[in-house]
Amino acid sequence: MGDPRENDRRVRSQLADSIAHIVDRAGGQIGLEQAHADATITAIRMHRVHPGVVARYFDLVSALARQDLESSRSLWNGLAQMSCETPQFSITAFAESGLGDDYERFARLVFAEFSGTDPIEAPPLDVFETARRNLENALETIAGIDPAARREIESLFSHVYVAVASGKPGAARFGGATSFMVWGATFMNAAHYDTSEKAAEFLVHEVTHARLSGLNSTELLVRNPPKDSFRSPLRTDPRPMDGIFHATVVCGRLASFYSTLAKDARAVGAQSNHQEAAHRFRERFQDGWKVIAEHGDLSPVAWSILEGCRNRLSEAA
């Protein structure tokens, strides 16, 4: 799938181009100074940006479409100020005290398609500290068996947010989530991924979604109409082909991850569990492959990604 840093650069380049278009079309309406706007656009092109920059961009587009100029000005000011920062990789509690407006914004954007009620909330301090240690251990494990995957995680995620599931009525289930609309962030349910090994699975799972979403922003990977649904290898309900493609690639990467982990001499006493997990994800990958082979209309890049997963699994067998 190429260099993940290039993936991030292309996403930011597209973001900068779109913001330049907004400035050209609507800058006068919300009182933007051209020099300030140019500096913001240049910063986005030059370095990584906080997930809040991308999230504010999507809210800014919505506010302008509603002709809500006051909100547009506020969103622009926040976006411009935040774009000056170059974020460092961090494991952070999903808490209003640290996130401010982004506490509501992130939850709304990440789960917009799935739930009318925000399904995540802030974790208790002790839960966060345990999850942070699990994630740190997970990163060390990944680095030990697949250094490229560790670099990929830290290249595409500047923030790993630890949360817990909301108890609100009507809230959708939440295990882990990554959204293009909050590019640079991923969200983990500490109760669902409650060991270092599960945290490693979470990171491999979610960074795969991030890579595919980033690639899809420059080339349509799946050409099947979104209205057409098919049997999914990961869920019982029918899904659009794009979701099946994502799930199948995730299963392939997790099968490879657990196959490698099963051969790691440091994983004393756990090899059988790792082999079982590798077998389970391998079967799901093969199930997804069959559905895609029969019904999928994929780009050459998407097929090459699937073929790469298949080849790695053959080598690991």
| φ, ψ (nearest 5 deg) of residue 189 | -80, 110
Q: Is 67 exposed, middle or buried (0-12, 13-18, 19+ CB in 10 A)?
A: exposed
The pLDDT value recorded for residue 131 is 98
Model confidence band, residue 107 (pLDDT cutoffs 50, 70, 90): very high
Q: Are 131 and 203 in contact (CB under 8 A)?
A: no
88: its two tokens: 């460092």
Q: Is 148 exposed, middle or buried (0-12, 13-18, 19+ CB in 10 A)?
A: exposed
Give the whole-angstrom CA distance, residue 117 versus residue 114: 9
Rounded (10°) angle between helices 241-262 and 196-216: 140
The pLDDT value recorded for residue 193 is 96
Query: Is pLDDT of 147 > 80?
Result: yes
The pLDDT value recorded for residue 166 is 86
138: its two tokens: 């997970």
Query: Is pLDDT of 142 > 70?
Result: yes
Tell me: the pLDDT tens digits for 39-72?
Answer: 999 999 999 999 999 999 999 999 999 999 999 9
Closest CA to 210 of 235, 186, 190: 186
Query: Is pLDDT of 105 > 80?
Result: yes
The pLDDT value recorded for residue 92 is 97
Model confidence band, residue 202 (pLDDT cutoffs 50, 70, 90): very high
Look over the chain and give the mean of its residue pLDDT values, rounded to a whole number: 92
Terminal C-alpha separation, the chain? 22
Query: Is pLDDT of 17 > 60?
Result: yes
Compute the average pLDDT of residues 230-237. Answer: 76
The residue ranking higher by pLDDT, 272 or 161, is 161
Burial call 278-308: b when 16+ CB within 10 Å, e when fewer:
beebbebbbbbbebbeeebebeeebeebbee
Model confidence band, residue 273 (pLDDT cutoffs 50, 70, 90): confident
Q: Are 46 and 85 in contact (CB under 8 A)?
A: no
Model confidence band, residue 168 (pLDDT cutoffs 50, 70, 90): confident
The pLDDT value recorded for residue 31 is 92
Query: Is pLDDT of 268 > 60?
Result: no
Give the whole-angstrom CA distance, residue 236 versus residue 284: 12
Query: pTM here?
Result: 0.94
Query: Is pLDDT of 254 > 90?
Result: yes
Compute the average pLDDT of residues 99-106. Answer: 96
Query: Is pLDDT of 112 > 90?
Result: no
Query: Is pLDDT of 269 > 90?
Result: no
Closest CA to 193 of 217, 240, 161: 161
Q: Are strands 229-230 and 185-189 parallel, antiparallel or unpaired?
A: unpaired
Compute the average pLDDT of residues 158-178. Answer: 87
Between the alpha carbon of residue 292 and those of residues 230, 256, 283, 296, 306, the distances in Å are: 9, 20, 14, 4, 10
